[in-house]
Structure 1
Amino acid sequence: MTDIPVTEPAAFWEARYRDSTRVWSGRPNDLLVREAAGLRPGTALDLGCGEGADAVWLASRGWHVTGVDISATALERAAEHAVEAGVGDRVAWERHELGETFPQGRFDLVSAHYLQSPVGIDQEKVLRQAAEAVAADGTLLLVLHAAWPSWQTEPPFDVEFPTLDAVLAQLALPEGSWTVETMETVRRPSVSPDGIEGHREDNVWRIRRTGP
């Protein structure tokens, strides 16, 4: 992912953003668009919002969004993006080191895309907190990489990619209070930094809270 030496999460991700003029494309994640386009707008929580593309897209569709990231630089860029897109008044930005602190309140949509990191994050804890933050009749949307991209012949670091069933089990959702609406592995095109074409597989969970 980066040549930045592995260190504390906050220092790692702040350096990751500070040392680049732009890390991400500025476009919303395709799977967010696919899964959230038909939802009725309300309040949304975007965990690991990065430079804000997902949060801005949600706000442009009528959501009131709280975007959360560990990097102050990422949040500054996200806020600029929101203002440029004309939705600055629909997004609040909060800095959290997830696993240590978490936003207050409940939300109609809690979205977490690619909360996977080469430096420490208690992913299971954060995903359970994400589920707890979903309001009644709200939606939890999780997207995680399912494997290294096809063009990655030598993984740059050790990581365990959780399966669909494993994450669902880790969430420990109360029986009868949630409905799984999407749970699948999606293959999508992917291009390496060197221009090698291939694919990447992502796991997707969209789960609606039907009980308290």
Structure 2
Amino acid sequence: MSEATEFWEGFYAEREVWSGKPNALLVREVAELRPGTALDLGCGEGADVVWLASQGWRVTGVDVSATALKRAAAHAAEAGVADRVEWQRHDLSVSFPDGEFDLVCASFLHSPVAGDHERNHILGLAAKAAVAPGGSLVIIGHAGEHPEHGPLPTTEEVLSGLALGPEWVIDTDEVVEHPESKAGTGLDNVLRLRRQGLRP
């Protein structure tokens, strides 16, 4: 069992974090996009996946914790969207889902057992490559100093790690005051990036 698997299995064994509410910042960024295929990285117990599926997206939810994915599947079934969702278990530093997606989202992909190098690798290589032409990459993270994770990367640092080419357009680059943020500052970073091209 990898360090990440052990940590997150222990995390979900000790608590349930399901609120039934999607991330409000994700809703803001995605609500006007045309539904297609979506990939949610670090989906946890599946609130964002369930919301996306309810909006017409066909969603692949990915997490390292089998416990979280089992709960997420139950929530999707309760919401009547199980037929629009696929669940996959990946330690994203080791493996990644196949295919391209119209939307790739990573919300609060912070981990005390993965450093900035691993996070940059996941976002800057695998996640970026998984966005289909015309699709969007949405990255939401806590800003400032986090009580568990320490100093967190700014949007400028995240963009630097992504090393975007000329085919990418930045649609959103904001630091937002978010009352539900678990960062000590109550601030969250929001990036929405669009890969130029035509969606089918």
TM-score under structure 1 length normalisation? 0.86
Q: 1:135 to 1:17 in 2, by over 3 A?
A: same
CA contact (8 A) 1:190 1:199 kept: no
Residue type of the alignment partner of 2:191: W
Q: 2:6 matched to which residue of 1?
A: 11
What are the Cα deviations for residues 52-92 of structure 1, in whole angstroms up to 9, with x where unaligned? 00000000000000000000000000000000000000000
Separation in structure 1 between the aligned mates of residue 129 and residue 31 of structure 2, nearest angstrom: 23
Please, what is the CA RMSD of the aligned residues? Answer: 1.8
Query: Which runs of 5 or more structure 2 residues have no equivalent in the other structure?
Result: none
Separation in structure 2 between the aligned mates of residue 199 and residue 83 of structure 1, nearest angstrom: 36
Per-residue deviation, 1:211? 4.5
Where does 1:34-183 land on structure 2 (aligned, <5 Å)? 34-121=28-115, 122-128=118-124, 129-148=126-145, 155-156=147-148, 159-175=150-166, 177-183=167-173
Per-residue deviation, 1:190? 3.7
Q: 1:59 to 1:92 in 2, by over 3 A?
A: same
Separation in structure 2 between the aligned mates of residue 164 and residue 156 of structure 1, nearest angstrom: 19
Q: 1:208 matched to which residue of 2?
A: 194
Q: 2:176 matched to which residue of 1?
A: 186
Q: Report sequence identity in percent.
A: 56
CA contact (8 A) 1:189 1:199 kept: no
CA contact (8 A) 2:144 2:185 kept: no
Q: 1:16 to 1:169 in 2, by over 3 A?
A: same
- Structure 1 residue ranges (4+ consecutive) displaced by more than 6 angstroms after TM superposition: none
Q: 1:191 to 1:34 in 2, by over 3 A?
A: closer
Residue type of the alignment partner of 1:148: E
TM-score under structure 2 length normalisation? 0.91
CA contact (8 A) 1:148 1:200 kept: no
Separation in structure 2 between the aligned mates of residue 24 and residue 83 of structure 1, nearest angstrom: 14
- Give the structure with the higher percent helix: 2
Larger Rg: 1
Separation in structure 1 between the aligned mates of residue 181 and residue 148 of structure 2, nearest angstrom: 17
Q: 1:3 matched to which residue of 2?
A: none
Number of equivalent positions: 193
Residue type of the alignment partner of 2:168: W
